[in-house]
Amino acid sequence: MTGEPGTGAEAFRAATARLAAAGLPDPARDARLLLAHALDLAPDRVMLALHDPLPAGAAVRLEQALAARLARQPVSQIIGGRQFWGRRFRVTPDVLDPRPETEVLVAAALAAPFSRVIDLGTGSGVILVTLLAERPEATGLGTDLSPAALAVAEGNAVTHGVAARARFCPADWWRGVEGRFDLIVSNPPYIAASEMAGLSPEVRDWEPHLALTPGGDGLDAYRVLAAGAGAHLSPGGRLFFEIGPSQGTAVVAALAAGGLAGAHILKDLDGRDRVVAVRAPA
């Protein structure tokens, strides 16, 4: 973008064209979000400003944001946040970009009451914070190996008013976790080592590999989680693991081997296996 900034509409068209020329999959959406970020407006308000002259400072911010996007940095990292379950969560390169598919897990968890929840590998805290925000009487624990991710999760808990009911601590899955919970949730790393090269640059080059893959066949985290779940799940408690679309049978089997029989698989809106769910005997 050169010369005078022009109007917001001109900037939007130019940004969309540049993103499209680079082969990005949804250039108009990205341009709208980046322009809203540059103007410091909510995305649903940016179209109202298209006919106004683009301030010089906003033009500079937009150019910087476009350069980052053309380098395939995810939009959520560039603008610093992502909408999930009607709330905006802070996102950094230290955490996974929350996916819409994870809302399948949240919806299932919210379908029945719970009072004490643990989110293993909490990342940005998007699952735990959402569950606590929707259930004001519940308390929760979020664990992660990454101190940087835990800092992001704690900030999101403060933003959404659940910090007094949420605790975050470093842990390697069950190691160091004590007590029982009537709700266990996790979206662990599950991408096989052989699949990493085929991921989009936004994921492969910008998101933390610790949160993407455990190496090998991608199932190591489930094996550890399933082996310890029975000792931490309250009688009648529920468990939900997000999975890759081809992993359901293996995760169900791992839970059965750990003493939790009767698991079933929930599908996402595209009809793909997305969550394994099980309830402990009462």
For the segment 189-247, what is each residue's pLDDT rounded down to a tens digit?
999 999 999 999 999 999 999 999 999 999 999 999 999 999 999 999 999 999 999 99
274, pLDDT greater than 60:
yes
- Quick one: pLDDT at residue 5? 59
pTM of the model: 0.93
Question: How does pLDDT run across 90-130, given as a tens digit for each residue?
Answer: 999 999 999 999 999 999 999 999 999 999 999 999 999 99
**Residue 53 — very low, low, confident or very high, per pLDDT cuts 50/70/90?**
very high
- Quick one: pLDDT at residue 47? 85
1, pLDDT greater than 50:
no
- Quick one: pLDDT at residue 67? 98
277, pLDDT greater than 90:
yes
Q: What is the dihedral of CA 191, 225, 238, 165, to 10 degrees?
A: -90
Bridge partner residues of 144 (DSSP): 170
Radius of gyration of the chain (CA): 21
End-to-end CA distance of the chain: give it in Å, rounded: 63
Question: How does pLDDT run across 127-151, given as a tens digit for each residue?
Answer: 999 999 999 999 999 999 999 999 9
2, pLDDT greater than 90:
no
What is the torsional sign of CA 220, 223, 226, 231? negative
For residues 75-103, give the mean pLDDT: 96
- Quick one: pLDDT at residue 44? 87
CA atoms within 13 A on the CB side of 207: 23
For residues 178-197, give the mean pLDDT: 97
- Quick one: pLDDT at residue 248? 97
For residues 44-48, give the mean pLDDT: 88
Tokens of 268: 């996402």
Tell which wins on pLDDT, 265 or 3: 265
Tell which wins on pLDDT, 63 or 48: 63
Average pLDDT of the chain to the nearest whole number:
96
Cβ pair 146, 94 in contact under 8 A: yes
